[in-house]
């Protein structure tokens, strides 16, 4: 499973978990994801995130990948039921979760993003991150495509992703969902701000495909604090359908 980016007409480019996104008016009739070949691009060096420690959890020093110039992180939480409807045997679907971590991505205010910044190897022990990335191939993809642009070592990068993911409280109305509901993107954002008092609505965006919820995204500074999003907007649907786990 290699999630890549696609572009939805009338909306910002959807970043990276396009296997749960569908073109407007199409629901579950396309394959679960669109494979698009990304051109390899060089990344400019820039200041590394202050999250870097340079050491793996076991105490062994790790080399950090060169940092690309980027403005903020985009934390993307995918709505698992939408993806798992067409991929029921995927590793992350066994738990019947609601929101799952898709990734922590360096992003720019102008809507561009650095990717594939080096050939630095991923974490020496990927299994220690199985709680956030049960599929090793997704973990490797996230490191190669996004982590190598963070300026962090592999373990610092995935530890930061875990910290960011665990800091988000899922609204109880969605965490305990038992039947399909429909809400506007604004209502979904309001649920998240109510459950996360330190997160302003300007730090959040809702992604959807075919008027179905696919993800909620949060913009974070390089210390993982919520900030107003630059170049990131919610989908334009007036009502978004949310199927239960």
Q: Which residues of the chain have pLDDT under 70?
A: 1-50, 52-66
Question: Where are the alpha helices (H) located in 21-135, listed in sequence order?
Answer: 80-86
Token pair belonging to 226: 């919520």
In a domain, residue 41? The reply is: no
Residue 87 burial (CB count, 10 A): 18
pLDDT value at residue 237: 95
Question: Where are the alpha helices (H) located in 41-184, listed in sequence order?
Answer: 80-86, 136-145, 154-167, 172-175
Catalytic residues: 102, 142, 146
| Number of separate domains in the chain | 1
Name the helix (H) or strand (E) containing 183.
strand 181-183
In a domain, residue 117? The reply is: yes
- According to DSSP, the residues that pair with 69 across neighbouring strands are none
Tell me the whole-structure pTM to 2 decimals: 0.77
In a domain, residue 21? The reply is: no
In a domain, residue 129? The reply is: yes
In a domain, residue 206? The reply is: yes
Report the CATH number at residue 195: 3.90.730.10
pLDDT value at residue 52: 60
Nearest to 155 by CA among 75, 56, 50: 56
**187: helix, coil or strand?**
helix
Look up the domain containing 211 and give its range: 69-242
In a domain, residue 151? The reply is: yes
pLDDT value at residue 46: 40
Token pair belonging to 22: 């569908």
Q: How far is CA 184 from the centre of its chain?
A: 21
Token pair belonging to 19: 């296997």
In a domain, residue 9? The reply is: no
Alpha-carbon span 2 to 236, nearest angstrom: 26
Alpha-carbon span 116 to 48, nearest angstrom: 16
In a domain, residue 144? The reply is: yes
> What is the sign of the dihedral through the CA atoms of 199, 202, 205 and 206?
positive
Tell me the pLDDT tens digit for each residue of 29-75. 333 333 333 333 333 334 444 576 555 545 455 656 667 799 999 99
């Amino acid at each position: 499973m290699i999630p890549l980016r696609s572009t939805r007409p009338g909306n910002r480019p959807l970043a990276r978990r396009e296997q749960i996104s569908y073109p407007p008016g199409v629901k579950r009739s396309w394959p679960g994801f669109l494979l698009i070949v990304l051109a390899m691009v060089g990344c400019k060096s820039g200041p590394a995130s202050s999250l870097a420690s340079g050491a793996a959890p076991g105490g062994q020093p790790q080399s950090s990948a060169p940092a690309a110039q980027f403005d903020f992180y985009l934390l993307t939480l995918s709505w698992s039921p939408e993806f798992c409807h067409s991929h029921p045997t995927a590793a992350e679907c066994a738990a019947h979760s609601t929101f799952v971590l898709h990734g922590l991505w360096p992003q720019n205010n102008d809507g561009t993003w650095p990717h594939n910044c080096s050939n630095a190897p991923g974490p020496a022990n990927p299994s220690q991150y199985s709680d956030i990335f049960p599929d090793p191939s997704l973990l490797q993809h996230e490191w190669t495509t996004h982590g190598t642009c963070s300026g962090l070592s592999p373990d610092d990068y995935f530890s930061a992703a875990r910290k960011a993911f665990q800091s988000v409280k899922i609204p109880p109305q969605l965490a305990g969902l038992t039947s399909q509901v429909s809400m506007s993107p604004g209502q979904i954002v309001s649920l998240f701000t109510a459950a996360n008092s330190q997160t302003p609505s300007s730090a959040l965006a809702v992604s959807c495909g075919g008027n179905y919820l696919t993800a909620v995204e949060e913009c974070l500074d390089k210390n993982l604090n919520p900030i107003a999003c630059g170049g990131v907007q919610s989908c334009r649907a007036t009502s978004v359908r949310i199927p239960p786990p």
